[in-house]
Amino acid sequence: MHASDRLRCVTLATLLALSGCRGAPSSREAQPPAGVPLAAPTVDAPAGSDERGEVPVTALGAGAGRVDRALRRYARDHAGRLPTSLAGLLGETDPDGVPYLRDLPGDAWGRPLAYAVLSARYGVYELRSYGPDGVPATGDDLVSKPEPVPFD
């Protein structure tokens, strides 16, 4: 199964769970292993989050701060342009020959951070952690939308 197929399955399962729909009943319906909860536990919004669920970059873990600084350095050195992916920060160096990142740090749970450019024109991006459960689009996701990067 490809990663995109897995994401579609997770998204569909999440939407079905949120709507309360379980699909057609099956006599061979799979049961979770003993000790595995049927649903992810709910997590209260972290301290410092606002009403839109956004948190400061530091709430995503120490690695997120490094990524944020690297993104800003990259944008400064590239006339406000942001990289298309975090992996782009690994292969490039600043004008002094220093890599923007030597490795891709994870979130507070050691998982990869998600990165999206929301507006390339205005330098707006977001960093996201899928939270303690590691599953996208659940209630424990943490999203940080830092100030837009300045451009020349």
CA distance linking residue 15 with residue 56, whole number of Å: 27
CATH number of the domain that 99 lies in?
3.30.700.10
User: In degrees rounded to 5, what are phi and psi of residue 112?
Assistant: -60, 145
> In this structure, is residue 112 part of a structural domain?
yes
In terms of pTM, does the model score above 0.75? no
For the stretch 111-120, pLDDT in tens is: 999 999 999 8
3-state SS assignment for residue 8: helix
Residue 20 binned pLDDT confidence (cut-offs 50, 70, 90): very low
pLDDT digits (tens, 9 = 90+) for 103-136: 999 999 999 999 999 998 899 999 999 999 999 9
87 within some domain? yes
Kindly report which listed range (7-21, 23-37, 97-111) carries the lowest average pLDDT score: 23-37
In a domain, residue 56? The reply is: yes
Number of domains in the chain: 1
Residue 91: pLDDT band with limits 50, 70, 90: confident
Please indicate, yes or no, if residue 7 is contained in any of the structural domains: no
Q: Is residue 121 part of a domain?
A: yes
Domain that holds residue 66: 48-152
Tell me: the pLDDT tens digits for 46-77? 444 444 568 999 899 999 999 999 999 999 99
With a cut of 80, say whether residue 14 has pLDDT above it.
Answer: no
Query: Does the residue 78 lie in any domain?
Result: yes
Q: What value does the mean pLDDT of the chain take? A: 76
Domain membership of residue 64 (yes or no) is: yes
pLDDT, residue 102, reads: 95
